[in-house]
Structure 1
Amino acid sequence: RPLEANGLGWTPEKTQGEIEQLLSQFTLLPESGDIFTYWLHGKSRHRI
Structure 2
Amino acid sequence: MEIGLVEILIAAIVLLVVLGILYVLLQSEGEGELLELAVELID
In terms of fraction of residues, the more helix-rich structure is 2
- Does TM, scored on the shorter chain, surpass 0.5? no
Instruction: Report the TM range for the smaller structure's normalisation.
Output: 0.3 to 0.5
Larger Rg: 2
Q: TM-score, normalised by structure 1?
A: 0.38
Q: Which has the higher contact order (CA 8 A, sep 6+)?
A: 1
Give the TM-score normalised by the residue count of structure 2.
Answer: 0.41
